[in-house]
Every structure is written in C-alpha cells, then in structure tokens.
Amino acid sequence: MTVLTDARIVLPDGVHHGDLHIADGKITTAAAVSDETIDLGGRHVVPGFVDMHVHGGGGASYQLGRPDEARRAAAFHLAHGTTTTIASLVSGGPDELRDAVTGLADLADDGVIAGVHLEGPYLAPDRRGAHDPALLRAPDLAEFRRLHRLGRGHLRMITLAPELPGALDLVKEAADTGVIAAVGHTDAPGAVARAAFDAGARVATHLFNAMRPLHHREGGPIAAALNDPRVTIELINDGVHVEPAVARLAFTTAGPSRVALITDAMAATGMPDGDYRLGVMDVEVRGGSAVLAGGTSLAGSVITMADAFRQTVVHLGVPVHEAAEATSRTPARALGLDTRIGSLEPGKDADLVVLDDDFRVDWVMKRGRRV
C-alpha cells in the first residue's frame, strides 16, 4: 500500500483535498497499513493523460513501426504524463502501413502503446494537410480488413473523409469490427458528415483543422460534430492550431465530456528547432510551430499532453477538473478504456500525474510505479 497524503485529488466532480491510496497498481480505499507514505504538500494529482492521436516525440516516430523508435517515443511522452498512448500513422503505401501496423501490434501486446490509429490514407486531397497527396486513395475495404487482421485487435481508430466513394461502407465496417471511425481531413458538407455519424463514426479528428470551415449557410463537419452528442471532438490546444477563442467555443458548445485534447505530436516534440520528417514529408520546426518545408501547412504539433493540459487551465481558464476530464476521462471513454483508466477512482489503474504549483509535471506514476 502506498498513500499519497496532503493531495489535491482531481476527480470528475471537482478537486478534493485528502489522501490517495494505491495497492497492487490500483487506486483503492484505505484498507491496510501503508508501506510507503508520500507527502505531496498540497500539490494537484490528476489522472494520467490519455493521448488518442500522436505520431511521435523525443526525436522518434511511430510511422515505420520500428520497436526501438516506438518505445523511445512512448517513453518520452510517458515522462511528460501520458500514461496511455495511441500510436498514429500518417498516410502511407500499402506495404508501409502493413509493416507498421504489424510492428506496433507487437508493442501493444507488450503494453507500450494502447493501440494504433490510421490517419489516412482515405483523405480528401484538398484537405490533406501534411499528408503526401501521392499516397491518398479511395477507401478500400479489402485493405482495411487486411490491416485490421494484422492489428490483432489493436487497430483502434481510422480517420477518413466521408465524402469519398465507399467511405460510408468503410465507416460501417469499422463500427462493426470495433474500430473507431473518425471524420477528418474532409471537405464534406454537413449532410455527409451527419450521415457518417449516423453510420457509426464517433470522433471528429482535430476539429477545425484540415476540414471544411464553418459557414453560417453550410455548417460542414464542424457544426455536425459539435451538435452531435455521440461525437467526441479532438482538439489540438497548442495556441497554434486553434486560437483560444475558438478552443473556448469548443468547450462551451461540447463540454469537457466530449472534448478530447490531443497532441498530434510529431518526432520533433521535445527537440530543438530544426528540420524533421513526418512520414515522407519534410517539416520545418521553428518557435513551437511545425510546418511543411517551404509551405504554410501545419504538420502536427510539438507539444505534450502536459502542455495541452496547462494551456487549457492557464490560458483558457477551464477549471482543473474539466481540463483533467478532457485530457484523461473523455479520450479514455472514446477509446472504450474508461473502466480501467481515465480517472482517479477506486478500482482503476494507478496512472497519475503530480503537478507543481504552476501546473507543470512534477512526477508520473503508471500502474502504481513511479516513472
């Protein structure tokens, strides 16, 4: 038994001052004499962050599914409070995606990551963002089924543009096989986006970015997602992808129970400014912003979930417990993992982050062990 004393415990209904008990890697109630007591001196304890959309970090990428790189990226984000990671892949050729999904499934078996997210290749060319246009293609059920089989139950999510031929059939197939279909990189009008949600899509990939913008006579996928209580909304709150007023709009409209903060972080996260790669695309990182070389298209972010959490509390003014919901409980629920992670409630894994007075990471615990 480990007891964290004098803690500000961030629970779904607010912040509670008291003690947090941990036994056998789980949050528990006080039922035994403690072996270790840690006095937190009034610091906040939040649930471990859950990042459902991240491409890499610490100089390493998930794109090729190489175990050494993937472990390095996951370890980097774990040290910054992300105790549950979904490895995201940008659009790739059939062989590249096959190899990456196969390799990452092995790491999911080992608990390094919690699954795989295919961001593409079934995306709208005009909303491709940092994806190579030569690798984009129409939805292919045979390819999806092959990747799903190779993922051995670890393929968690696929982002696609619902207006493409065959996209709605793939949405239904994904929903039927337990894979989350996400609407993103899309030029779909509102009616098509709504049809995708009715067909089983349950996530909007990085809302506002790489999609048809909101217009008062055609709401597009943004209005469709914000108005649908079934849909979880990804939000990159780095101060670059979405300005604070728009981020507040998402929280006000959908609430923290539907906003899932993500990083969309690339390998350059935690690294100096310089030139990097996202998939096959060259990326320039300067002053906290990653853009395609020689262009203006954003190429993911260079933030951690800890950065997203702090940005939300300090710069948006979102209450601490609501920011914790958006960084932990909401993405966990979207992924179907909320019975085990996402909040500091008895019976759940002891995945947690201790924050200092400035809401920065002090230390991290995963399944009851300090990282």
pLDDT at residue 325 in the model: 98
C-alpha torsion 62→67→68→72, nearest 10: 50
pLDDT tens digit sequence for 83-105: 999 999 999 999 999 999 999 99
Tell me which of 1.10.274.10, 3.40.47.10, 3.20.20.140, 3.50.50.60 is the CATH number of domain 48-342. Answer: 3.20.20.140
Q: Which residue has the tokens 């604070």?
A: 244
pLDDT tens digit sequence for 57-70: 999 999 999 999 99
List the chain domain ranges: 2-45+355-370, 48-342
How confident is the model over 239-261, as a mean pLDDT? 97
May I ask the CATH architecture of the domain 2-45+355-370? Roll (2.30)
| Predicted TM-score of the model (pTM) | 0.97
Residue 361 has pLDDT above 80, yes or no: yes
49-54 vs 82-89, strand pairing mode? parallel
Listed in sequence order, the residues at least 6 apart from 126 whose beta carbon sits closer than 8 Å to its beta carbon are 187
Is residue 75 very low, low, confident or very high in pLDDT (cuts 50, 70, 90)? Answer: very high
pLDDT at residue 35 in the model: 84
Q: How many CB atoms lie within 10 A of CB 13?
A: 7
pLDDT tens digit sequence for 15-45: 999 999 999 999 998 776 778 999 999 999 9
C-alpha span between 117 and 121 (Å, rounded): 11
Q: Which residue ranges are tagged as binding site for substrate?
A: 130, 209-210, 217, 241, 298-300
pLDDT at residue 136 in the model: 98
Is the sign of the CA dihedral 360, 260, 66, 153 positive or negative?
positive
pLDDT at residue 366 in the model: 98
pLDDT at residue 34 in the model: 75
User: How many percent of the chain have pLDDT more than 90?
Assistant: 97
pLDDT at residue 264 in the model: 98
User: Catalytic residues, which ones?
Assistant: 264
Q: At 197, is the secondary structure helix, strand, or coil?
A: helix
User: How many percent of the chain have pLDDT more than 70?
Assistant: 100
pLDDT at residue 30 in the model: 77
pLDDT tens digit sequence for 189-246: 999 999 999 999 999 999 999 999 999 999 999 999 999 999 999 999 999 999 999 9
Q: Which residue ranges are tagged as binding site?
A: 119, 130, 185, 206, 209-210, 217, 241, 298-300
How confident is the model over 273-277, as a mean pLDDT? 95
Is there a shared CATH topology between the 2-45+355-370 domain and the 48-342 domain? Answer: no
As given in the structure block, the two tokens for residue 81 are 């409070």
pLDDT tens digit sequence for 114-149: 999 999 999 999 999 999 999 999 999 999 999 999
C-alpha span between 204 and 231 (Å, rounded): 7
Using CB atoms within 10 A of its CB, is residue 142 exposed (0-12), middle (13-18) or buried (19+)? exposed
Contact 170, 181 (CB under 8 A): yes
Q: At 71, is the secondary structure helix, strand, or coil?
A: helix
Q: Which residue ranges are tagged as binding site for Zn(2+)?
A: 119, 185, 206
